[in-house]
Amino acid sequence: MVNLLIAASTASVAILASRAADWQPVSLVLVLGAFNLASELMDFRITRGELQPWSVTSNAPLALCIVLLGPGPSLAVGALGLAASAVKCRPRFSDVVANYASYGIFLTSGSLFCRWIIDSWGLSPSDSGIALLVVAAYAWVFTASFLINGIYNRVGYGESVRSQWQNEGPRLVAESPTLLLAAGTAYAYENLGVKALGLLVVVQLMYQHFTRNLLLSQERAFVLQQRNDELAALHSTLSKQAVRLSELSESRGRLVGQVLQAEEKERRRLAEALHDEALQEMLSARHGLDADNGGNDRSRESIARAIDQLRGTIFDLHPAVLEHAGLSAALHEVADRQQERTGFRPRIEVAPEACGPHDALLFVLGREQLTNAVKHSRATEIGLVIDRIDHKVVMEVHDNGLGMDPERRRTAVERGHIGLASSAERVEALGGRFEVDSRPGHGTRVRTTLPVRGA
């Protein structure tokens, strides 16, 4: 409501203060009106970072109206430009009224002040003072517009004066060449007439066009740089996360290795306890029975079977041959035991360069897979091959048995058969891969791949 009253009041003042001579020559009014209309239609907005958008237009036609015409024509030319801008940008009605009020204040006051100066000093368009007056009018348009809009934005939107100056400062810099050109045009108007204004219009609009393209290019470069900075920051964050994940993976691998070592140590302790205590007691008992001619033959057979079972358990817990003779010898001993039980011997091939820190795990997995092939697949041919490929150790166990249904393999855990799932988890915890290829009637192939760290 206040803005509407201000707009109506300034319009009334401009109309009452207008004189018929203010509208002469009509060609000047038309040229300046067309100039301001074209300038407003070519207006564009630039956004820099977190600043509010600022428009790039020209105050030259308004400054010339203030000096060369009166308050009525000045306000009419300004209103024509605002109408074109409203049609183009479709602002809120309250903003349109606020703009009309702002234009009414500085155009009417500026025109009345310049008229007083010209009348008091007797200036004519041929005087150099007219050029200085155009510069002053230009500065007044910019300053008054900034102050009025600053107060309005401060009260209505809480925007600080500093942020508004950051928005408007670049606009003043962009318009500075036009200010000097407008002053020179006003001085040349007495001799060249409307032609001088026509030249100004052409030069101004060309300048505004090139300025628009230049600033838009800078804006695109600014936005692109922002995006590059954001991508660089994102890349840095992802790199840090990747390093962190790598550290966590290595830490997990070390922890799993320590768990396996602790497990192997405990198995060794149990094996030694069984060998040094229970097995020795059984051997001593059998020796006593052998020494006793009246001993019970059935007791001796039971003790002999118990001794064999204890030896098998000790071997399963921790084969001494693995520690003393290595992985190849330990797996060959497994093959010997399988031959005793089933009548055929699995084929074992272990490359010397494949032996190393994973021997204990490979032995456990290989023994389990050989046992599964004999017990469940009814295979007549079983092979186990361990080799070194680049920085990886690969163990492959294959047989010509019955094979497994993939669906049945997926539901094995639910039925309590966790052998393959447990093996896969232990291998993957060390950063390896555990792959099972099996189909009914086509045998089974289990491939274990383990990384060799530091190789």
Instruction: Inform me whether the pLDDT recorded for 308 exceeds 80.
Output: no
Pairing mode, strands 347-350 and 382-389: parallel
Q: Which of 64-68, 93-97, 299-303 has the lowest mean pLDDT?
A: 299-303
Mean local confidence (pLDDT), 211-235? 78
Q: Which of 166-175, 369-378, 391-400 has the lowest mean pLDDT?
A: 166-175
Q: Which of 14-18, 84-88, 154-158, 297-301 has the lowest mean pLDDT?
A: 154-158
Instruction: Inform me whether the pLDDT recorded for 431 exceeds 60.
Output: yes
* 358 Cβ contact partners less than 8 Å away, ≥ 6 residues apart: 393, 430, 450, 452
Q: Which of 25-29, 70-74, 149-153, 353-357 has the lowest mean pLDDT?
A: 149-153
pLDDT-based confidence at residue 388 (cuts at 50, 70, 90)? very high
**366 closest CA partner among 342, 392, 404, 393:** 393
Q: For residues 59 and 78, what is the distance between their CA atoms, to the nearest angstrom?
A: 10
Q: Which long-range contacts (CB under 8 A, 24 or more apart) does 225-234 make?
A: 226/49
Give the chain's largest Cα–Cα span: 153
Q: For residues 242 and 385, which has the higher predicted lDDT (pLDDT)? A: 385
Confidence at residue 32, expressed as pLDDT on a 0 to 100 scale: 82
Confidence at residue 276, expressed as pLDDT on a 0 to 100 scale: 60
Confidence at residue 275, expressed as pLDDT on a 0 to 100 scale: 61
Q: Rounded to 5 degrees, what angle do the CA atoms 283, 285, 288 make?
A: 110
pLDDT-based confidence at residue 50 (cuts at 50, 70, 90)? very low
Calculate the alpha carbon distances from 400 to 176, 438, 441 in Å: 90, 10, 8
Q: For residues 249 and 438, which has the higher predicted lDDT (pLDDT)? A: 438
Greatest mean pLDDT range, 184-198, 233-247, 301-315, 434-448:
434-448
Q: What is the pLDDT of residues 321-359, one digit of tens each?
A: 677 778 888 898 888 888 877 777 889 999 999 998 888
Mean local confidence (pLDDT), 123-128? 73
- Find residue 389's DSSP bridge partners: 392
DSSP symbols for 41-96 = HT-EEE--TTSPPEEE---HHHHHHHHHS-HHHHHHHHHHHHHHHHHHH---HHHH
pLDDT-based confidence at residue 208 (cuts at 50, 70, 90)? low
Assess contact for 367 and 402: CB atoms under 8 A. no
Confidence at residue 47, expressed as pLDDT on a 0 to 100 scale: 52
Half-sphere exposure of 400 (CA within 13 A, CB side): 5
Mean pLDDT of the chain: 75
Q: What is the pLDDT of residues 96-109, one digit of tens each?
A: 787 788 888 888 88
pLDDT-based confidence at residue 65 (cuts at 50, 70, 90)? confident
Assess contact for 348 and 330: CB atoms under 8 A. no
